[in-house]
Every structure is written in structure tokens, then in C-alpha cells.
């Protein structure tokens, strides 16, 4: 188990370096002077431009820039943005909000996805299965931002059940609607995955053996069908945490939430490349960490991996 963990961690190092180098390169290694374009139509005074170049090591060779950036990542010091704010501070403010939003979405999709998927898989071909299947198709087909709009308009504005926007200090209640919107597409995938997995396991040989032992149906379903169906679903859910945080850009934009997505979008519009790269790096780290958690969950759920 320890060896397994160690090996996975080792494999993550080149992935982390490669991904950050790729992002950093894409943002900073393109033709044109990133500083010259700042300050709108008139541009910034030459002296200010020079200062910015120095501050962000833009006069160093690319690889040195990148290494300095990496150093910043490891010392949790990303520098300051063009408006003079500590980027670390900005991230520290935005990250918890997005994390809460993503976790809420994760719980929603897990609970509803698993429940619906389980029932549909058990009665494959029945009316419930058919309904769930159609709904999941529709949910996948309607993009998140459309669903965000519609729900915001119908549930928030017309019906007034839930707050329309989150604002400065979002709590559970204000984040509920955005979390539902964020969870929707993944929920559909979880339903479909659970359904297939349950249906497949139902006809597995070991389930027949369990029945032949004389286990009651509920016991067979709980201890064998559900337990084994969880493996691919949990794997999906773990990986999805990273997706949810990265995908929060749209949802946070619609509901005006000051999370990573909103901040990132803001930084993109203002052309604050350092902030953009810093934020995306943090998201990549979250994503990689989530995938590591998936590996561990996988090992915990499937003994074949644990002792491999």
C-alpha cells in the first residue's frame, strides 16, 4: 500500500512540472509584450512598464522566469498583481468559497446520482429507468450556463425560493442554487455510470453465487451489487472534484460569486497574467490532488489494487 502511494506520488512530480510549465509557457511565451498592452488605449508610462517588467522577472530568460514562478508556488508567494494586491491573499480569499461550492455540488451529485442510478439499474428497462435515462440525457444536453440562467430566473426571480446571487460572503443557503447548477451535468453522468455498473454487476457470477448461498435479496444487493458498483462511481466522483472547481468559472460568473472562477475571469479580462497562471496552477494542484485521492479511494475499495 505504501509502495503504491509512493509510486503514485512520484509519478505526479513530472505531471505537475509539465502541466505548470505548459500553462506558464502558453501564457508568457507568446509573441508580443505583455506589458505594452496594459493600461488600455494610452498604455502605461515607460517607467512604470519597466518597473512591472522587473517585478515580474519579465526581463529574465523564460526558463528563469518559470523557475522563479515555481519557487513562488512552493513558498506560497505568488507576488502581487497589477493592482498591488498579494496574489496569495486573493487566492486565499477565493479558494474556500469555490471549495465549498464544489463540495456541495459533489454531495448533491453523489447522493442523487447514486440513489437514482441504483434504482434505475436494479429495474433496468422499467418506467423509472426510462424516465431517469431521458432526464439524464436532457441534463447533459443543456449546457451549464443555460441551466444556470433558467434556474436563476425561474427558481430565484420568478418563484423567489432561493437567492439569485451570492454576493460577498456566501453561506450554505445562497450557494445552494449555484451548487445544484454546478452539479447538474455531473449528476447525469453519475446516474448513467451507476446504472450501467449496477446492471452489469447484477448479472455477475459472484452475485449468482451469493444468491446460491441463500442470502436474501436485500443482502445480495447491498453487500455485493452496490458495494462493487461503487468502485467506478467513486473514482468518477473523486476526479470530478477537480472538474467542478475548474468548471466553476461559468457558474460563479452567473451567480456573481467571488470564488476562484470569478477571480480568474476577472484577471483574464484585466490581462493579469501572473494572477491567471497562479490561479490555474492552484486549480491544477487541486486537480492532481483529487486524482491522487481517487487512486487511494480506488485502492481502498478494490483490494486487487491495494496489494498490487
Partner 1 sequence: MTTQFPVTGGGLPTGRPAGTSYDAGTDKPLLQISDLEVSFTTGVGEVKAVRGVDITVYPGQSVAIVGESGSGKSTTAHAVIDLLPGTGKVTGGSITFDGREIVGLPRVEMEAMRGRDIGLVPQDPMSNLNPVWRIGTQIDEALRANGFEGGRAERKERVAGLLAEAGLPDAARRARQFPHEFSGGMRQRSLIAIGLAARPKLLIADEPTSALDVTVQRQILDHLEVLTQELGTAVLFITHDLGLAAERAEHLVVMFKGRVVESGPARQILADPQHPYTKRLVSSAPSLASRRIQVAREEGATPDELLSHHADGEETRRRPIVQVRDLTKVFQIRGARPGASSDFTAVDNVSFTLPRGETLALVGESGSGKSTAANMVLGLLEPTSGVVEFDGTDVAGLSPKEQFAFRRRIQPVFQNPYGSLDPMFSIFSSIEEPLRLHQVGSKKEREARVRELLDLVSLPASTMRRFPNELSGGQRQRIAIARALALKPEVIVLDEAVSALDVLVQAQILELLGSLQDELGLSYLFITHDLAVVRQIADSVVVMQNGQVVEYASTDAVFDNPRQQYTRDLLAAIPGAGLEDAKIAG
Partner 2 sequence: MPENRTETLPGGRRPRPGQEHFAAELDEGGLGAVDAVSTTDAPSSLWRDAWRDMRRRPMFWVASAIIVLVVIVAAFPGWFTDIHPRFDCNLADSLGAPEPGHPFGYDKQGCDIFSRTLYGARASVLVGVMATAMVVLLGTTMGAVAGYFGGWFDAILSRITDIFFAIPLVLAAIVIMSITTNRTSFTVAFVLAAFGWTSIARISRGTVMSVKNNEFVTAAKSLGMGRGGILLKHVLPNSAAPIIVYATVALGTFIVAEATLSFLGIGLPPSTVSWGGDISQAQNAIRQAPQILFYPAGGLALTVLGFIMMGDVVRDALDPKARKR
Contact residues for partner 1, defined by CB under 8 A = 3-4, 7, 203-217, 219, 223-224, 227-228, 231, 301-304, 307-308
Q: How far apart are CA 49 and CA 70, in angstroms?
A: 23
When the beta carbons of 110 and 199 are compared against partner 2, the nearer one is: 199
**Binding partner of residue 42 among partner 1, partner 2, none, CB cut-off 5 to 8 Å per kind:** none
Answer for which of 19, 38, 296, 301 binds partner 2 (CB under 8 A) is: 19
Alpha helix segments (H runs only) across the chain: 2-28, 46-55, 62-74, 87-122, 127-141, 144-151, 172-202, 205-212, 217-219, 227-246, 248-255, 260-270, 273-301, 303-306
Q: How far apart are CA 127 and CA 144, in angstroms?
A: 27
Q: How far apart are CA 306 and CA 51, in angstroms?
A: 54
Q: How far apart are CA 262 and CA 249, in angstroms?
A: 6
Task: Identify the three-state secondary structure at position 267.
Answer: helix
Q: Which of 167, 166, 177 is nearest to 105 (CA)?
A: 177
Task: Identify the three-state secondary structure at position 249.
Answer: helix
Query: Which three cell numbers mark 209?
Result: 453465487
Q: How far is the CB of 118 from partner 1 (least distance, A)?
A: 17
Contact call for residue 242 and partner 2 (CB under 8 A): yes
Listed ranges 100-108, 213-221, 224-232, 245-253: which one lies at the site for partner 2 (CB under 8 A):
245-253
Contact call for residue 280 and partner 2 (CB under 8 A): yes
Q: How far is the CB of 208 from partner 1 (least distance, A)?
A: 5
**CB neighbour list of residue 151: distance below 8 Å, 6 or more residues apart:** 177, 180, 181
Query: Which three cell numbers mark 233?
Result: 462511481
Count the site residues for partner 2 by CB under 8 A: 44
When the beta carbons of 1 and 107 are compared against partner 1, the nearer one is: 1
When the beta carbons of 169 and 205 are compared against partner 2, the nearer one is: 205
Contact call for residue 157 and partner 2 (CB under 8 A): yes
Q: How far is the CB of 215 from partner 1 (least distance, A)?
A: 5
**Which residues lie near partner 2 (CB under 8 A)?**
11, 14-16, 18-19, 22-23, 26-27, 30, 137-138, 140-146, 149-150, 153, 157, 200, 242-243, 246-247, 249-250, 253, 264-265, 268-269, 273, 276, 280, 283-284, 287-288, 291
Amino acid at each position: 500500500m505504501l509502495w503504491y502511494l509512493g509510486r503514485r506520488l512520484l509519478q505526479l512530480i513530472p505531471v505537475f512540472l509539465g502541466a505548470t510549465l505548459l500553462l506558464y509557457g502558453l501564457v508568457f511565451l507568446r509573441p508580443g509584450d505583455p506589458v505594452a498592452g496594459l493600461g488600455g488605449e494610452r498604455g502605461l508610462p515607460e517607467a512604470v512598464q519597466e518597473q512591472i517588467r522587473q517585478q515580474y522577472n519579465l526581463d529574465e530568460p523564460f526558463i528563469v522566469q518559470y523557475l522563479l514562478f515555481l519557487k513562488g508556488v512552493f513558498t506560497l508567494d505568488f507576488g502581487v498583481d497589477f493592482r498591488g494586491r498579494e496574489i496569495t491573499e486573493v487566492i486565499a480569499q477565493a479558494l474556500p468559497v469555490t471549495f465549498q461550492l464544489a463540495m456541495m455540488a459533489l454531495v448533491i451529485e453523489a447522493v442523487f446520482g447514486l440513489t437514482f442510478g441504483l434504482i434505475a439499474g436494479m429495474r433496468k428497462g422499467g418506467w423509472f429507468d426510462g424516465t431517469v435515462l431521458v432526464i439524464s440525457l436532457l441534463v447533459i444536453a443543456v449546457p451549464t450556463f443555460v441551466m444556470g440562467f433558467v434556474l436563476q430566473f425561474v427558481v430565484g426571480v420568478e418563484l423567489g425560493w432561493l437567492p439569485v446571487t451570492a454576493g460577498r460572503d456566501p453561506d450554505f443557503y445562497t450557494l445552494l442554487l449555484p451548487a445544484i447548477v454546478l452539479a447538474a451535468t455531473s449528476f447525469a453522468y453519475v446516474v448513467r455510470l451507476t446504472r450501467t455498473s449496477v446492471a452489469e454487476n447484477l448479472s455477475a457470477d459472484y452475485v449468482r453465487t451469493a444468491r446460491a448461498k441463500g442470502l436474501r435479496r436485500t443482502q445480495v444487493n447491498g453487500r455485493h451489487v452496490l458495494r462493487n458498483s461503487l468502485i467506478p462511481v467513486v473514482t468518477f466522483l473523486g476526479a470530478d472534484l477537480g472538474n467542478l472547481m475548474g468548471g466553476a468559472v461559468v457558474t460563479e460568473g452567473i451567480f456573481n460569486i467571488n470564488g476562484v472562477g470569478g477571480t480568474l475571469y476577472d484577471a483574464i479580462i484585466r490581462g493579469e497574467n501572473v494572477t491567471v497562471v497562479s490561479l490555474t496552477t492552484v486549480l491544477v494542484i487541486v486537480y492532481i490532488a483529487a486524482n491522487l485521492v481517487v487512486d487511494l479511494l480506488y485502492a481502498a475499495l478494490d483490494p486487487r489494487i491495494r496489494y498490487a
